[in-house]
Amino acid sequence: MINTEFIEYIKCDDTDVYENEPMNLHTSFRIGGNAECFCEVKNKNALSNVMKTCKKYNIPYFILGLGSNLLVSDNGIKGVVIKLGGDFTKITLLESDKNIVKCGAGVTLAGLCVFARNESLGGMEFAWGIPGSVGGAVYMNAGAYGGEIKDVVISSEYMDSDGNIKSFSGDELDFSYRHSAYSDSNYVITDVTFKLEPKSQAEICSRMDELMNRRKTKQPLNRPSAGSVFKRPEGYFAAALIESCGLKGFSIGDAQVSEKHSGFIINNGNATAKDVKQLIEHIKKVVKEQTGVELCCEIKYIE
């Protein structure tokens, strides 16, 4: 249970602390109750202090990126939500090799893509338009249009629950489809190092524009959502299966299967987490009954 003593321990100049923070302000779904405690840490010392204090008081914590792959319970989140700000939003080039970019886990993928473009470095174009943070992208090995984070990451640093800084590199990152060494762990990614390749800005811009136009044409970007709801079943496409089962446009409450892209569930105004969860289960049930394919949800549910 979070009490005044706990709050006083984690408060400092480098940590902004808010109690009962509405999580619908921090998720792309615009859904979710209040976080019992929400704090933005601005450097590794502040992060270490919060994590050690959580361990001391046996309080659970959750690391929030941009909230683009989350469904937060209507009852909110018990424990502490940690957002990485300050130093965690910086991007630098390695002095000894200008093709290597190091950035904090709190950097947005959009910000990293723009930085790479401005430095005439290619390799990140596939991520243009993915609405997430660098840390979240590494956590789930985000990908689109034939590219994945694993293609460009060479190492990453993380903090364990005791506040120790460690790292994974190469095969230790254990990347696979929507999976990494961080999946289902309590490690906090702090920094990520990318190896990119020299490329003309004109070529990079052309590819980024092409992919963004494809997104705008095919995806419901004008409605709150959490992106693609289901992982790609082997040998199939989730959206095609959902559409073939007649579920395009189907809704429960204000949660609706997008009429533009059946792989998305959109919030039509006042959808609740309960609406979305019920809709996900209905989709899985109907698709299983009609096609025999088991859909696996890609969105992370937090309570």
Active site positions, annotated = 178, 228, 298
Phi-psi region of 301 (alpha: psi -120 to 50; beta: other; left: phi over 0): beta
Under a CB-based contact definition with an 8 Å cutoff, are residues 99 and 121 in contact?
yes
Q: What is the C-alpha to C-alpha distance for residues 201 and 204, in angstroms, rounded to an integer?
A: 5
Q: What is the DSSP letter of 207?
A: H
Q: What is the C-alpha to C-alpha distance for residues 137 and 213, in angstroms, rounded to an integer?
A: 21
Which residue do the tokens 């394919």 mark?
293
Contacts of 229-232 with CB under 8 Å at 24 or more apart are 229/263, 229/264, 229/265, 229/280, 229/283, 229/297, 229/298, 229/299, 230/263, 230/283, 230/295, 230/296, 230/297, 230/298, 231/177, 231/178, 231/295, 231/296, 231/297, 231/298, 232/177
Question: Six-digit token pair at 222?
Answer: 């004008």
Phi, psi of 90 (to 5 degrees): -100, 150
In the chain, the amino acid numbered 38 is: F
The runs of H, that is alpha helices, within 237-272 are 238-244
